[in-house]
Amino acid sequence: MKVEEAKALTTEELNKQLEEAHHELFDLRFRLATKQLVNHRELPRVKKKIARLKTIIRERELKIR
């Protein structure tokens, strides 16, 4: 998901996407621990997605205040 696409979402949708990304990160870490993870580049990709979503949510919080 690109930044423009994420900024177009509502706050509720962003929170849902953030929750899904955290779940995906958990699954990737679990597969890494059990030696079933094929593509190790998935971990940083999901971490960046989480950071991007949190940044957009925080920007909206600061804009409101």
Per-domain residue ranges of the chain: 3-64
Which whole-number Å values give the CA distances from 2 to 20, 36, 39, 55, 63, in the listed order?
16, 28, 21, 13, 21
Distance CA 11, CA 39 (A): 31
Q: What fold, for 3-64?
A: Helix Hairpins (1.10.287)
Distance CA 25, CA 51 (A): 12
Distance CA 22, CA 18 (A): 6
The predicted-structure confidence for 16-62, as pLDDT tens digits, reads as follows 999 999 999 999 999 999 999 999 999 999 999 999 999 999 999 99
pTM for the full predicted model: 0.90
Q: Please give the DSSP secondary-structure letter assigned to residue 38.
A: S
pLDDT at 1 over 90: no
